[in-house]
């Protein structure tokens, strides 16, 4: 008997189950209790870049980056040793291509007639494009579009979490709030596009002073904030002074007449044991910034 379609021809010699598994567009595989492959469908075989006979009896160490194997082994253990059904996103680097792909994987135990777990059935769907889109959207939601820094919303949400961790483990935490002096006059004299150039220049310049664990954000028009975990107030003051001096030595020029020599005012505070929320730290740093401006700008003030 033959069944003709626009894609393929079937006859009685073809294993219908294998045909279906090869056409569903997902990666299907079976492993035994030793985590060795006993079956993969055609799309999985192509991913691994080997013939089926070479794959049978092999394990994940031959196909995936060693740094990611621990997560794969952990999920397989949950299935094979505890009988769980695991549904997880798994990011894997394929050895044959070196590319990182993200999969939505479902792994279920396979039982024999005695209700003993004898293996694992896995079905993985490549969701890399969807995952990357989600990550891009999350980044956009957390980022200031002009400077590429974190935005105010992300900064405040993150600050509350770090503040809580700081109090729990009794670690120091410092905050610097910074404002570009006389920024309105820059906009009035040169126009907002030049003002944007100044914001971008200062953001990029100051980023060189920031550690990986610090949170640097644009929280207003010309206002920025630095949250400094595990940092004492004296160290924060030293950093603020270095930033102030470095920026004051810069000259910004472009397709406009004249040059701009930016100046900064900075206010500093830190977490006190009596603070119940990050707001208390923020309010003191903001008052210190106001003091710096009131005293003539281009200076650092501290409100402990």
CA dihedral 187, 190, 191, 197 (to 10 degrees): -80
Q: Bridge-partner residues for 102, per DSSP?
A: 91
The active-site residue out of 90, 222, 241, 255 is 222
- Is residue 62 annotated as a catalytic residue, yes or no? no
| Residues 6+ away with beta carbon under 8 Å from 202 | 180, 224, 247, 262, 264
Which residues are designated catalytic? Answer: 222
């Amino acid at each position: 008997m033959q069944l003709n379609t626009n894609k393929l021809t079937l006859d009685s010699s073809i294993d219908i189950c294998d045909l279906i598994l090869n056409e569903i567009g997902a990666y299907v595989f079976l492993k035994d209790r030793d985590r060795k492959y006993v079956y993969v469908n055609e799309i999985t075989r192509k991913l691994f870049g080997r013939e089926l006979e070479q794959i049978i009896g092999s394990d994940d160490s031959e196909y995936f980056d060693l740094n990611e194997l621990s997560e794969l082994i952990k999920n397989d253990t949950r299935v094979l040793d505890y009988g769980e059904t695991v549904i997880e996103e798994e990011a894997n680097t394929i050895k044959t291509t070196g590319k990182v792909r993200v999969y939505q994987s479902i792994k279920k135990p396979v039982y024999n007639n005695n209700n003993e777990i004898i293996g694992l059935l896995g079905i993985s769907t490549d969701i890399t494009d969807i995952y990357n889109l989600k990550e891009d959207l999350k980044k956009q939601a957390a980022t200031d579009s002009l400077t590429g820094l974190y935005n105010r919303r992300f900064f405040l949400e993150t600050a509350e979490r770090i503040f809580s961790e700081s109090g729990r483990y009794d670690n120091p935490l410092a905050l610097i709030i910074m404002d570009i002096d006389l920024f309105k006059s820059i906009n009035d004299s040169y126009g907002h596009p030049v003002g944007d150039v100044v914001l971008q220049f200062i953001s990029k310049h100051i980023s060189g002073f920031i550690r990986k664990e610090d949170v640097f954000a644009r929280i207003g028009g010309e206002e920025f904030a630095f949250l400094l975990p595990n940092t004492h107030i004296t160290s924060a003051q030293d950093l603020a002074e270095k930033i102030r001096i470095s920026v004051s030595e810069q000259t910004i020029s472009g397709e406009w007449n004249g040059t701009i020599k930016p100046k900064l005012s900075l206010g500093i505070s830190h977490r006190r044991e009596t603070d119940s929320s990050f707001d208390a730290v923020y309010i003191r740093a903001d008052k210190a910034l106001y003091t710096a401006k009131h005293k003539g700008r281009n200076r650092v003030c501290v409100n402990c």
